[in-house]
């Protein structure tokens, strides 16, 4: 999986080299977010009805088709189809993958080790990206299309490994009525659980800032700070390796700090990093960029762990997918405002705005989460 995701290092360059302009690239991102968010809840219902393993398996297969067709025929219509396939594939995997891990551990009597196992899984994913990034750069110089074909092969291989996992789904006999019942109940439980809503508020604020920074600000800002273009890939590899370490130790740190303090630290570090980057004009800014990536890695682990504690076992994937749906819709609507802010006000002013947005929505989400009770 890490190998498959490593194409992000050259993805923008690949699109530009095939004649796409920035507006078309932005439309691809929008189409992916919309496809992913709209499909999150129904695919979560599929996972809860037909089994988490099947959902992950078919998600990987559909996902693998996206880089395959883009690598074979890099035209704009194919890019659009690839964005939809990637959205569907990842939607099928998202809640189901973490739920599959959780269910297997519960069956083994080791449910309390979920956060640790999930953290290690994320660490392995990041290490795969770290190792594959230099190879992707080399392949891109040799033949750009090979990078996308490599990504597709890695995803098909991951699907094969999931197929070999010994796991028998135990649930009601699949039917259309059960499918819609699980979606209805999963969505209802998500909205009725105030802690889940608190995490939606928190996650939306953090994800909006993180997405705008990663997709629009990060690489141009590095160049502004004096980083050579050739070094961007190396820096990305170092950041991925650091994120892998954080993912591996996130569980132990979470046990010591607890949920509320962990959330508060995530908010504070993110806000300080945004403010620092809005003022720094030297290579020292890389330190705060690293902080942003590290806290984002920790945030992903903690929010997923807290969600798993709140959701119902029978509608686990649907409830997690509901969280993803709500956060992605909110971010999808607000992302154009972030891009407009960069064009109108500049990068540094936008970073200050992101700091304020993160602080306001982060503290609001923490307040709702801390002062609510599980239903």
Q: Is the pLDDT of residue 332 over 70?
A: yes
Distance CA 286, CA 153 (A): 33
Give residue 194's pLDDT band: very low, low, confident or very high (50, 70, 90): confident
CA end-to-end span of the chain, whole Å? 36
Q: Provide the 10 A C-beta neighbour count for residue 142.
A: 10
Reading the block at residue 357, the tokens are: 């947005």
Reading the block at residue 201, the tokens are: 């508020």
For residue 226, what pLDDT is reported? 86
Distance CA 273, CA 355 (A): 8
User: Is the pTM value of this prediction over 0.85?
Assistant: no
Q: Is the pLDDT of residue 348 over 50?
A: yes
Give residue 303's pLDDT band: very low, low, confident or very high (50, 70, 90): confident
% residues pLDDT > 70 (the chain): 78
Q: Is the pLDDT of residue 339 over 70?
A: yes
Angle between helices 144-164 and 114-142 (to 10 degrees): 150
For residue 375, what pLDDT is reported? 45
Helix residue ranges, H only, 108-231: 114-142, 144-164, 176-192, 194-212, 218-224
Q: What is the mean pLDDT of residues 19-39?
A: 76
pLDDT in tens, 234-266: 787 788 778 777 877 887 888 888 889 999 999
C-alpha count within 13 angstroms, C-beta hemisphere, residue 195? 20
pLDDT in tens, 305-320: 887 777 655 556 666 6
What the chain holds in terms of domains, given with CATH numbers, is 2-370 (1.20.1250.20)
Q: What is the mean pLDDT of residues 37-42?
A: 69
Reading the block at residue 48, the tokens are: 């809860």
- All residues at 6 or more sequence positions from 108 whose CB lies less than 8 Å from its CB, including other chains: none
Helix (H, G, I), strand (E, B) or coil at 58: helix
Average pLDDT, the chain: 80
pLDDT in tens, 67-92: 999 999 999 999 999 999 998 888 88
- All residues at 6 or more sequence positions from 253 whose CB lies less than 8 Å from its CB, including other chains: 262, 298
Q: Is the pLDDT of residue 276 over 70?
A: yes
Q: Is the pLDDT of residue 176 over 60?
A: no
Q: Is the pLDDT of residue 349 over 80?
A: yes
Residue 205 in contact with residue 331, Cβ under 8 Å? no
Reference 300, options 246, 345, 231; nearest CA is: 246
């Amino acid at each position: 999986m890490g190998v498959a995701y490593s194409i992000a290092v050259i993805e923008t360059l690949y699109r530009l080299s095939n004649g796409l302009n920035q507006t078309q690239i932005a439309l691809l991102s929008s189409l992916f977010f919309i496809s992913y968010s709209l499909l999150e809840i129904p695919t979560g219902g599929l996972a809860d009805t037909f089994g988490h393993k099947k959902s992950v398996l078919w998600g990987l297969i559909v996902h693998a088709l996206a880089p395959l067709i883009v690598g074979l025929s890099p035209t704009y219509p194919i890019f659009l189809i690839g964005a939809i396939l990637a959205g569907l594939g990842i939607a099928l995997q998202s809640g189901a993958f973490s739920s599959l891990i959780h269910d297997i551990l519960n069956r083994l009597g080791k449910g309390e080790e979920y956060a640790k196992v999930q953290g290690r899984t994320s660490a392995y994913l990041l290490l795969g990206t770290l190792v594959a990034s230099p190879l992707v750069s080399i392949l891109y110089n040799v033949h750009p299309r090979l990078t996308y074909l490599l990504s597709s092969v890695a995803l098909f291989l991951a699907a094969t490994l999931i197929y070999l996992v010994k796991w028998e789904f135990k649930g009601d006999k699949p039917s259309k009525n059960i499918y819609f019942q699980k979606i209805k109940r999963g969505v209802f439980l998500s909205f009725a659980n105030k802690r889940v809503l608190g995490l939606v508020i928190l996650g939306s604020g953090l994800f909006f800032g993180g997405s705008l920074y990663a997709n629009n600000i990060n690489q141009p800002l590095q160049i502004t700070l004096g980083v050579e273009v050739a070094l961007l890939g190396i820096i990305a590899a170092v950041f991925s390796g650091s994120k892998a370490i954080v993912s591996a130790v996130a569980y132990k740190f979470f046990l010591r700090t607890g949920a509320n303090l962990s959330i508060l630290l995530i908010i504070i570090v993110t806000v300080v990093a945004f403010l620092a980057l809005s003022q720094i004009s030297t290579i020292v800014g890389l330190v705060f960029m690293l902080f942003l990536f590290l806290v984002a890695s920790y945030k992903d682990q903690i929010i997923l762990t807290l969600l798993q504690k709140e959701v119902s076992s029978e509608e686990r994937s649907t409830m997690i997918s509901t969280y993803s749906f709500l956060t992605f819709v909110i971010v999808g609507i607000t992302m154009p405002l972030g891009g407009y802010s960069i064009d109108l006000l500049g990068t540094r002013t936008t970073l200050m705005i992101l700091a304020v947005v993160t602080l306001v929505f982060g503290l609001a989400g923490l307040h709702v989460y801390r002062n609510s009770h599980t239903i």
